[in-house]
Chains A and B, each alone.
Chain A
Amino acid sequence: MPACIHELFVEFIVSVYHRHHHTYMHAFGIGLTGLVVALGYLMKQKNHHISLPLQLLLPRRFGITDSSFYVCGPALKDIKGKSPSLKFERRKKNTRPGILVRQLHIEEQLLRTSSENWCIINDGTNDPTIVMGFSGKPAELLEIESVLHDQVPVIRRFTGGGTVIVDHQTIFVTFICNKETVPDLQPYPRPIMSWSSSLYSKVFGGIGDFHLRENDYVFGNHKFGGNAQSITKNKWIHHTSFLWDFDVRNMAYLKLPKLAPAYRSARGHLDFICRLKDYMPRSTFIDKTVEAAGTQFSLRSLELEAVVTCSETEFRPSTRFLTNEELAAAAAAVSEQQLGLP
């Protein structure tokens, strides 16, 4: 059972509440809108099919009376070092709640501990957040001085791949599958990447010359979707951050990566990426993604109470924030190296 899924929905409700009552998006900690769709698995056996329907989790209304919001459960331990519990904790205004970290924690936990197949679609996070891959080196990938000055959160995630800066305009889509789920699919990076592109080809249906270019989703030769994966003994995860829109100023926090796809041809960020919103309405994209998933999987709906639980678990996710001290140390190490200091 996934822990803290309902946490996403609590924060979804808070987000909806705040968006209707406040003009400025950044005045409060804005909840992450989450739509969790459980992906059914159609397994063909000799003479019969076993299929799990799509589990659509609907957010419930909570009696939110002020600008604070509630978080719960094991994720707290990772952020604040407290013991996990089933209690709710009240957060102050304007704190960064680590929503994206908690999403990644949930994904990692589902990958490691759930026997189900999942599709998770999250409709953006709050503040701009930098998300580095498993082995990302801050000094190589980030303009650390600016990041520290502007206090941009930096996350190291559990999947491979490069660095992105995401915000409320980003759409995240994640597939978590058992290795046997997709017939004839070898659980390795390239086949999974190819499978994903075939699914999204159904979403875009030829719009904008969509295709998979090396490991990116592109329109023509402009990237709008970045992919990352993690493969375990029995499951794999493939998640994508789609650039629905972006603030060009945020790109200034990222350096040009050393490890870049050949088709990038040393282009700067703004010449390399494009906006999904120029090709498809947001709701259409999400609807079509669910529809495309439905062509390969059996989907069913679930009551929130059936899956929501917030329980102690021995699972410890690896995704985490990098501290200011770590970032500063990384910057200092590079400076020393450049000065020829030991």
Chain B
Amino acid sequence: MALRIWASSTANALKLSCASKPHLSLSRCFSTVLDGLKYAESHEWVKHEGSVATIGITDHAQDHLGEVVFVELPEPGGSVSKGKGFGAVESVKATSDVNSPISGEIIEVNTKLSEAPGLINKSPYEDGWMIKVKPSSPTELESLMGSKEYTKFCEEEDASH
């Protein structure tokens, strides 16, 4: 982890970048973006299947946050609002808000994250899912980014810093 931080800092200082890879690290040079998901500018993803939407944070986010050591999640039965925080992840020294890309009722939370918060790092789009929601306004999904748009968003964000 320390070596990775050093490499990332050095790369940033030297303004190194891969032409097709927005992020340089020892483990890999790019963040995974999955097709079929929708993405928020605050780096959360939504997978809409029928009447249920699953939400988590993206590979880009987990990579930039570092090792996740704690996850704070809401209780099922509560509600989330588009753009508002519903929980937080702690990564060594920082707590970071997690915002919901859509509004709705929370029907399930990933209880495995209490014992294994690192699932967010290892499997951000699958085992590291955070909450499942019943969307109250399905049209909100339309305002989110698709995979290509989000990939470009991440590249531009990394390139501008």
| A residues in contact (CB < 8 Å) with B | 133-135, 158-162, 184-186, 188-194, 214-215, 227-233, 259, 261-263
B99 touches A159 (CB 8 A): no
Inter-chain residue pair count (beta carbon < 8 A): 83
User: Which of B1-9, B29-37, B103-111, B131-139 lies at the interface?
Assistant: B1-9
Whether B161 sits at the interface, judged by CB under 8 Å, is yes
A191 touches B93 (CB 8 A): no
A134 touches B65 (CB 8 A): no
B5 touches A214 (CB 8 A): yes
- Asked if A228 meets B88 with Cβ closer than 8 Å, knowing A184-B160, A184-B161, A191-B161, the reply is no
> Which residue in chain A gives the minimum CB-CB distance to B161?
A186
- Asked if A214 meets B2 with Cβ closer than 8 Å, knowing A134-B88, A190-B66, A232-B85, the reply is yes
Residue from A134, A191, A262 in contact with B70 in the complex, judged by beta carbons closer than 8 Å: A134
What are 20 A-B residue pairs whose CB atoms fall within 8 Å in the complex? A134-B90, A134-B95, A135-B72, A158-B95, A160-B90, A160-B92, A184-B160, A184-B161, A186-B157, A188-B65, A189-B93, A189-B94, A190-B9, A191-B12, A191-B161, A214-B5, A229-B93, A231-B94, A233-B99, A262-B2
What size tier do the contact residues of chain B reach?
20 to 34
B92 touches A189 (CB 8 A): yes
B95 touches A160 (CB 8 A): yes
> Which residue in chain B gives the minimum CB-CB distance to A231?
B96
In the bound complex, what is the Cα–Cα distance between A214 and B5 (angstroms)? Answer: 8
Residue from A133, A185, A194, A231 in contact with B9 in the complex, judged by beta carbons closer than 8 Å: A194
In the bound complex, what is the Cα–Cα distance between A200 and B8 (angstroms)? Answer: 20
In the bound complex, what is the Cα–Cα distance between A143 and B132 (angstroms)? Answer: 39
> B residues within 8 A CB of A261?
2
- Asked if A233 meets B5 with Cβ closer than 8 Å, knowing A160-B92, A191-B161, the reply is no
In the bound complex, what is the Cα–Cα distance between A262 and B92 (angstroms)? Answer: 13
A233 touches B97 (CB 8 A): yes
In the bound complex, what is the Cα–Cα distance between A113 and B149 (angstroms)? Answer: 31
> A residues within 8 A CB of B5?
190, 214
A133 touches B90 (CB 8 A): yes
What is the interface of chain B mostly: helix, strand, loop, or mixed? mixed
Whether B143 sits at the interface, judged by CB under 8 Å, is no
CB distance from A52 to the nearest CB of B (A): 23
Whether B69 sits at the interface, judged by CB under 8 Å, is yes
CB distance from A240 to the nearest CB of B (A): 11
Residue from B9, B64, B94 in contact with A229 in the complex, judged by beta carbons closer than 8 Å: B94
Across the A-B interface, give the 9 residue pairs with the lowest CB-CB distance, nearest first. Answer: A135-B70, A229-B94, A189-B94, A188-B64, A161-B93, A186-B161, A231-B96, A160-B90, A160-B95
A228 touches B157 (CB 8 A): no
Whether B42 sits at the interface, judged by CB under 8 Å, is yes
> A residues within 8 A CB of B79?
none
CB distance from A266 to the nearest CB of B (A): 16
Residue from B69, B85, B97, B158 in contact with A135 in the complex, judged by beta carbons closer than 8 Å: B69
In the bound complex, what is the Cα–Cα distance between A133 and B94 (angstroms)? Answer: 9
A259 touches B69 (CB 8 A): yes
Whether B91 sits at the interface, judged by CB under 8 Å, is yes
CB distance from B152 to the nearest CB of A (A): 17
> B residues within 8 A CB of A185?
161
> B residues within 8 A CB of A189?
64-66, 91-94, 96
> Which residue in chain B gives the minimum CB-CB distance to A188?
B64
In the bound complex, what is the Cα–Cα distance between A215 and B99 (angstroms)? Answer: 26
Query: Which of B117-161 touch A at CB < 8 Å?
Result: 157-158, 160-161
> Which residue in chain B gives the minimum CB-CB distance to A184?
B161
In the bound complex, what is the Cα–Cα distance between A133 and B96 (angstroms)? Answer: 13
> Which residue in chain B gives the minimum CB-CB distance to A216?
B93
